Structure 1
Amino acid sequence: MEVRGAPGTASWKYKHFTTRLASTPQSEIMPITETNPFAGQSDMGILHTPSQIDWGHRPGEISRSRKRRSWIWNQFFVIEEYAGPEPVLIGRLHTDMDRGDGRTKYVLRGEGAGSVFVIDEKTGNIHVTKPLDREEKDEYRLIATATDSQTERALEPSSQFIIRVQDINDNPPVFEEGPYSATVPEMANIGTSIIQVTASDADDPTYGNSARLVYTLVQGQPHFSVDAQTGILRTAVPDLDREAQDQYLVVLQAKDMGGHLGGLSGTTTVTVRLTDVNDNPPHFVQSSWLFSVSELAVPGAEVGRISAADADLGDNAKLEYTILDGESGDTFNISGANQERGRDGVMSVCSQLDYESRSSYSFSVEVLNPIVDPRFLRRGPFKDRASIRVAVLDADEPPRFSRARYRMDVSENCPPACTVGRVSAVDPDTGLTNNIRFSIDPQSDPEALFRITPDTGLITTVTELDREHEQWHNITIIATQRGTYTQSHGSRPGDNPSQVSRVVVAVETLDLNDNAPELDRQYNTAMCDSASMGQVVQVLRAIDRDEGGNDSAVHFNIPPDSNVALNFSPTASLVLVSPLQTLSRSTSSSLTLYIPLVLRDGVSGLTSTGTVTVSVCPCLRGGTVCLPQHSSLPSPGLSTAALLAILACVATLLAVSALSLSLRRQKRDSLSPLEEDDVRENIITYDDEGGGEADTAAFDITALQSYGGVWPLAPEGSGRGVPVGGAHSLALRVGEFLRLRLAQVTFDPSQPPYDSVQVYGLEGTGSRAGSLSSLDSEGGKEAEKEVWGSGLEDWGPQFQKLAQLFREREKETFNIP
């Protein structure tokens, strides 16, 4: 088969040779026509010969045969975006089997067959029907088949080939990540890299220069430059000053075709912001300031503000202020305060001012950057100076005490009006002391223990002080300036309440040896009646509440007139000096001795008394342990642990009792009929057992008696135990009875039982048997004897058995034969 390309293309012939001695095929590509613009590309078309030729052979000669084989297609080319008035011929398919008789039919299948690419069935010419875009699809794979149009038999096996779309420069470069933003420090060196920009071109980078890009600077000279190949933006000058201009807009261009004429281009912008460096020194906005402040200004009060400016930002503009004169630095202080424009220095008072001693201050202040960039030190020192003058204004000051705090002392037990000390104050405005009145703040001396002379400031006591009760007293003395002062309604003489000063006076009460030694506790001890002489019964210890009183010696004595003075001798311990009378070995024998002691201070001679309780008990011979005592006398004392144990037991019993009462009350409430439900639906259980018919005292029977007492029975012989009177009168009486009982239950809260079912001992007239109640049997025994079982025979045969039983019982009761 022969493939012929479009005009300007070439056709190729493919031959396949087969050698009898070697089975390896050999190929040969031979050009058929002239010029080929794609020289070196041997894949434009492939041709084969469908017949086989045998060259014959002789002995000793090599026999070779040439065989034309099935066609094999490779690729065609079509220029993208090519458009014309009619479909464009891009190639031709042909086979040697086509004898030109019109029976050969060429068929094209695959990508774009029939729509993008069409083939002439008779000639095999391939046309493209519309412009193609390589960026959308760069190649198409198709299958060519040659068949007999009459028999539809394939003349050649189907073969696949490729049609490639040849690129043209139809896409400009694009900055997909633009626009850009970048920062660079001000005053950066030339060539400092800022940012790299990148553009992309959709054209084929492997064909021609359609995708070869070159970067140029459209806007931004002379401050910036760009690398033409890499797109890196750099600084081009060394003096980019943020304070002069802090932002630049740079326009970059990328052009394809290597930047040559005819290439397409695209642009983007880069916003370059300069970051701050400390390249500007601070400076005061003026060279001197004048302030004034009252002498009454307290430490920390603001005097004024001085301003300094720094063109830098952030930490580079941080300012520190310093007072250069040492003396003024002790009186005033200056600190920085951030402001929207610049940073101010706040001047304040750090010690008390006095117009009378100094009325003005002059000094210098300095401002500087604590952080300095050494690259810019050549521009000069990063600091500035200014002069300050502060005038102190005179004011009416309150009295001033001679000390900030006073400490005085006075002996305890000193008689009233004992001198404690003196305070003094002066009027700082006039230097006088006679126009000041002193007083004691009542809140600092609530017991009024001290008094002060208003004119002289002399402090005295009002009553005797006791160091053991309170050693220190802190009182506040008030000094008020006298004179003429102004009020809303005019001037008036007297104390000026606005000119008041206060001072604290600490008064210590000095100790006197005015307390006798005392036993440190109540002593209770025990000893055997057989104790030997010299035995220590109890070690004694005394205390003295005076300051240092425990360091002096204390002497213990027993009064001579005491009956135990011959048996015991007190020193630092209570010692037995003579044997005691032996007690009986009875378990109830014991003896309690109360030994009086006299304690005397060895320095002051002050004395006090105390008592040691000694329980003498019988012991085994030679023993030191008392025999067990079974005495009905109460114990002389209990230890703390025993008392706590007893209290714990009592508390436990009380808790158990309270719990038991709570449970019983809960049980009683649960059994109570006073619930929301109807009382008739409740069953009330009474835990009480009746005494039977013989028990007439367990319950008041009168509450159940009929109205007006027991109604009389009918006379004998009537045959019925019904009330006297007719049925109509009985009904009236029953109705009256019920109304009475209903009124009692409704209006009388004392009627028992409460909120329960009423039981009425009244039988209606409809019963032939009469009343069967036995409640009043005790009072009516004689009547029973007369009417016992009377009338039962007349009631009918169903009562015959009952009548017989009554008769038998009557015989047994009354011994009737």
Structure 2
Amino acid sequence: TMKIPHLLLAWVCSCCSIYATVAARTPRSDHVPLHRTRRSWVWNQFFVIEEYAGPEPVLIGKLHTDIDRDDGRIKYVLTGEGAGTVFVIDEKTGNIHVTKSLDREEKPQYTLLAQAVDRQTNRPLEPPSQFIIKVQDINDNPPVFLHGPYHASVPEMSNVGTSVIQVTANDADDPTYGNSARLVYTILEGHPFFSVDPQTGVIRTAIPNMDRETQGEFLVVIQAKDMGGHMGGLSGTTTVTITLIDVNDNPPKFPQSLYQFSVSEATSPGTLIGRVKAQDPDMGENAKMAYSILDGEGSETFNISTDSSGQEGLIRLTKALDYEKQKLYSFRVEATNTFIDPHYIRKGPFKDTATVKVMVEDAHEAPVFSEPTYIMAVYENSAVGTLVGKVTARDPDSQRNIIRYSIDPHSDPDRYFSISAQDGAIYTATGLDRETVTWHNITVMAAEVDSPSQVSQVLVAIRTMDLNDNPPELEPPLETFVCDNAHPGQLIHTVSASDRDETSNTSRFYFGVPPESVSDTNFTVRDNKDNTASILVYQYKFSHLKRNVFEVPVVVVDGGKPPLSGTGTLTVSVCHCGHDGSIQSCNMEAYISPAGLSTGALLAILACIITLLAIVVLFVALRKQKKETLIVYEEEDVRENIITYDDEGGGEEDTEAFDITALQNPNGASTIGPGMSGGFFASRRDIKPKNPATRRSYPPSLGVLGVEEFLRLRLGDVDDDPAVPPYDSIQVYGYEGRGSSVGSLSSLETTSTDSDLSYEYLEDWGPRFQKLADLYGNKGLPHA
């Protein structure tokens, strides 16, 4: 048979060791069964008491195997948590000792591994066996409130037993072993207002109707004790600050039943005249109030409102006061809580009333006019001193002081009016003209004799009424024309009139001819009865050769009372017209017929333009032929300038043909003025003629003119016409040029025979114009 050894574990408790041996037996030849003895203890668990303070080291157990013959061949080995430091083993005997005091709260148990090996070969004799060493708890930790101190709140007036807060303490001892962690709560401070549940730590109210206004905060001390609260247990405490939450349990209350104020009758509406305040010991919304006027005579004169904080009532004036009418006002005001607290059931009305009396004080008031504004009227051209109207003011005070009137000089700077200081009568001070100023807005002031500083003023609007004092006038235009072939009864113009007076005086105008002009048989005036008149031809024909201009007087009368009349003159020019009524010639300058130019006139103008263009082309061609003879050599610097005129007069353009700076005096240039190229010259002075131009017209009897004759006549017209530019010009040359030894204006020598220039082309104009005429077939041009 074969025998299997087992490791025996011993448990020592209260200085006693228990050994257990387990042997495994194989079947024998006689097949007798083996029986295992039942163990009644836990073979793999040891215990050690925490905080043990006995002699060290302390034996807590022993390891033994049944193969150990006590011959020193077996060595016991201990490994695991705390092996070699906290726990040590005797290699020979297998005794286990603890080397230091243990704390269960730090580590409640240790897991170790035991093994028996051969001391010489270090070969395991049995498989390793695991066991546990538990640290047995003792009551070494007091209860601790981890979340203290606490703060809580509960509404005032709460019922008894209302939960406030729950406090909880923790005990680090083992709650499964003994009563070391069994806690009991008690209240040390806070009686009789609060109580605490000993098992749960819930704090509750203990008395009814706790009033915040009496005491708003409580400090409660709670104790937690282990060991079920028995003697010898450990304890811990915490504080709980409990605040009573305000509820609206107090109505507002006026500290006095009567309030008295005084106000001057001159106080403006909207002015604050007093404050009232009801007291409410509640807080926040529970203390807010609304004020109102209940009854009395002041409800229409005064108004009460609540300030922004909801505490005070502000009494304001709503309309003007009059001491002479009422000297005292009495009314009641009410203060009411505006917030209804759902946590508190009110008992009775939450409001209060008080009486307010307002005494009106007499004030020295300024005069009062009978009207807010005055509107008056007076006719223009009225005599100085004419009564316009009257203003009236009174002293509202009981003394009834004397009033004096005056006009503000800034409102009537031209002194159109005056006023009686005693009775306020307003008079004209100068003549009035409606057409100049229709309305006069003046300011009348009223002041008390005894108190000049008490001044009132009022606006007086005075309308200047119209009189028919302006005669009617003809409206422009007052110039027209008549054709020399006009027929009697033909309309040549329509006139209208205007009047500066009002419409009532100008609603109807009447037109006619002055009595002294009735004998004039050239034109007649017809009243159209619509405030216009037609000018008609009276005679048969007009001749512009006999008379070019007629003046037609027209009389216009207005409809005023009395009526006024005015005379205007219509200027009529006689024009030569065609059969279709178009103007062909007329003495009216810059006049353009409404029908436009006739076809013949347009053709004549076109022919003149073509002729002038042809002459310009011919002249340019002739000039190119003579160009070589007009070359001036640069080395001959004799300061000669040849002025060539290409037309019949160019005004200021004549001086552009040469450089005027050659004739300037550089020494005296600064006294004359700036000129070309930085030089100086005297400014040009053109003289415009005062006499109007007289245009020459050619009789039809001349027929068709030749080109040469036509140009000669037109050139004469231009030379003889002083009314168009270029006008006569005065050129002042203050310097004759440097280096000149003679006193002439130019250095040209007109008598020299050595000049290479030829002037023969200037003598060929007559034959060349004849050639131009032959070129056009000697048909000539119309005398346009």
Query: Shorter-chain TM-score: what band?
Result: 0.5 to 0.7
Secondary structure of 1:368's aligned partner: strand
Q: Does 1:391 align with 2:378?
A: no
The 5 A counterparts of 1:707-726 are none
Residue 373 of structure 1 deviates from its aligned partner by 4.2
CA contact (8 A) 2:89 2:95 kept: yes
Cα distance change of structure 1 residues 114 and 275 upon mapping to structure 2, 3 Å threshold = same
The 5 A counterparts of 1:218-237 are 218-237=188-207
Cα distance change of structure 1 residues 374 and 158 upon mapping to structure 2, 3 Å threshold = closer
Distance 1:523 1:209 in 2: 136
CA contact (8 A) 1:537 1:573 kept: no
Distance 1:328 1:573 in 2: 72
The 5 A counterparts of 1:658-677 are none
Equivalent AA in structure 2 for residue 497 of structure 1: P
CA contact (8 A) 1:556 1:597 kept: no
1:424 aligns with: 392
Choose from 225, 233, 240 the match for 1:270.
Answer: 240
Distance 1:628 1:379 in 2: 121
Distance 1:14 1:574 in 2: 160
1:454 aligns with: 421
Q: Does 1:164 align with 2:118?
A: no
Cα distance change of structure 1 residues 202 and 375 upon mapping to structure 2, 3 Å threshold = closer
Residue 603 of structure 1 deviates from its aligned partner by 7.5
Distance 1:595 1:16 in 2: 169
1:146 aligns with: 116
CA contact (8 A) 2:379 2:467 kept: no
Choose from 300, 323, 328 the match for 2:293.
Answer: 323
Distance 2:145 2:535 in 1: 119
Residue 86 of structure 1 deviates from its aligned partner by 2.1
Residue 2 of structure 1 deviates from its aligned partner by 0.6
Secondary structure of 2:300's aligned partner: helix
Cα distance change of structure 1 residues 577 and 570 upon mapping to structure 2, 3 Å threshold = farther
1:82-109 CA deviation, whole Å, 9 max, x = no partner? 2212222222222233221112222223
1:772 aligns with: none
Residue 256 of structure 1 deviates from its aligned partner by 3.4
2:659 aligns with: none
Q: Does 1:361 align with 2:367?
A: no
1:688-730 CA deviation, whole Å, 9 max, x = no partner? xxxx999999xxxxxxxxxxxxxxxxxxxxxxxxxxxxxxxxx
Distance 2:465 2:258 in 1: 63
CA contact (8 A) 1:558 1:569 kept: no
Distance 1:15 1:535 in 2: 168
CA contact (8 A) 1:569 1:576 kept: no
Q: Does 1:616 align with 2:593?
A: yes
Q: Does 1:505 align with 2:459?
A: yes
Distance 2:147 2:167 in 1: 8
Distance 1:539 1:136 in 2: 131
1:489 aligns with: none
Equivalent AA in structure 2 for residue 311 of structure 1: P
CA contact (8 A) 1:474 1:504 kept: no
Secondary structure of 1:316's aligned partner: helix
Q: How many residues align?
A: 560
Q: Does 1:76 align with 2:46?
A: yes
Distance 1:598 1:15 in 2: 168
Distance 1:237 1:513 in 2: 102
1:6 aligns with: 12
Equivalent AA in structure 2 for residue 315 of structure 1: E
2:214 aligns with: 244
- Report the identity percentage: 51
1:286 aligns with: 256
Distance 1:30 1:596 in 2: 169
Cα distance change of structure 1 residues 299 and 160 upon mapping to structure 2, 3 Å threshold = same
Secondary structure of 1:408's aligned partner: strand
Equivalent AA in structure 1 for residue 380 of structure 2: N
Residue 246 of structure 1 deviates from its aligned partner by 0.8
CA contact (8 A) 1:404 1:503 kept: no
Secondary structure of 2:452's aligned partner: strand
Secondary structure of 2:286's aligned partner: helix
Cα distance change of structure 1 residues 167 and 398 upon mapping to structure 2, 3 Å threshold = same
Distance 1:593 1:386 in 2: 101
The 5 A counterparts of 1:40-189 are 42=42, 44-45=43-44, 75-189=45-159
Distance 1:313 1:172 in 2: 43
Equivalent AA in structure 2 for residue 501 of structure 1: V
Distance 1:536 1:83 in 2: 152
Secondary structure of 1:379's aligned partner: coil
Secondary structure of 1:270's aligned partner: strand
Distance 2:24 2:534 in 1: 148
Residue 274 of structure 1 deviates from its aligned partner by 1.5
Distance 2:377 2:452 in 1: 31
1:199 aligns with: 169
Residue 179 of structure 1 deviates from its aligned partner by 0.9
Secondary structure of 2:338's aligned partner: coil
Equivalent AA in structure 1 for residue 452 of structure 2: P
Secondary structure of 1:324's aligned partner: strand
Residue 81 of structure 1 deviates from its aligned partner by 1.8
1:653-697 CA deviation, whole Å, 9 max, x = no partner? xxxxxxxxxxxxxxxxxxxxxxxxxxxxxxxxxxxxxxx999999
Equivalent AA in structure 2 for residue 424 of structure 1: T
2:448 aligns with: 481
Distance 1:522 1:266 in 2: 122
Cα distance change of structure 1 residues 166 and 472 upon mapping to structure 2, 3 Å threshold = farther
Q: Does 1:380 align with 2:348?
A: yes
1:70 aligns with: none
Q: TM-score, normalised by structure 2?
A: 0.58
- Range 236-245 or range 437-446, more displaced: 437-446
Secondary structure of 2:446's aligned partner: strand
CA contact (8 A) 1:536 1:573 kept: no
CA contact (8 A) 1:593 1:616 kept: no
5+ unaligned residues in a row in structure 2: which ranges?
1-6, 28-34, 538-548, 572-589, 607-633, 640-784
RMSD: 5.5
Residue 601 of structure 1 deviates from its aligned partner by 7.0
Secondary structure of 2:79's aligned partner: strand
Residue 188 of structure 1 deviates from its aligned partner by 2.5
CA contact (8 A) 1:540 1:574 kept: yes
CA contact (8 A) 2:226 2:235 kept: yes
Q: Does 1:413 align with 2:362?
A: no
Secondary structure of 2:67's aligned partner: coil
1:411-468 CA deviation, whole Å, 9 max, x = no partner? 46363545443332223344536x2212233444455444332211223444556677
CA contact (8 A) 1:284 1:309 kept: yes
Equivalent AA in structure 2 for residue 4 of structure 1: A
Cα distance change of structure 1 residues 333 and 618 upon mapping to structure 2, 3 Å threshold = closer
1:92-144 CA deviation, whole Å, 9 max, x = no partner? 22223322111222222333222211111111121112221122223333333
Q: TM-score, normalised by structure 1?
A: 0.56
1:610-662 CA deviation, whole Å, 9 max, x = no partner? 9999852444999xxx99999xxxxxxxxxxxxxxxxxxxxxxxxxxxxxxxx
Residue 284 of structure 1 deviates from its aligned partner by 1.8
5+ unaligned residues in a row in structure 1: which ranges?
20-27, 37-41, 46-74, 484-495, 579-591, 631-691, 698-817
Secondary structure of 1:309's aligned partner: coil
2:224 aligns with: 254
Distance 1:520 1:154 in 2: 149
1:806 aligns with: none
Residue 203 of structure 1 deviates from its aligned partner by 2.7
Residue 568 of structure 1 deviates from its aligned partner by 13
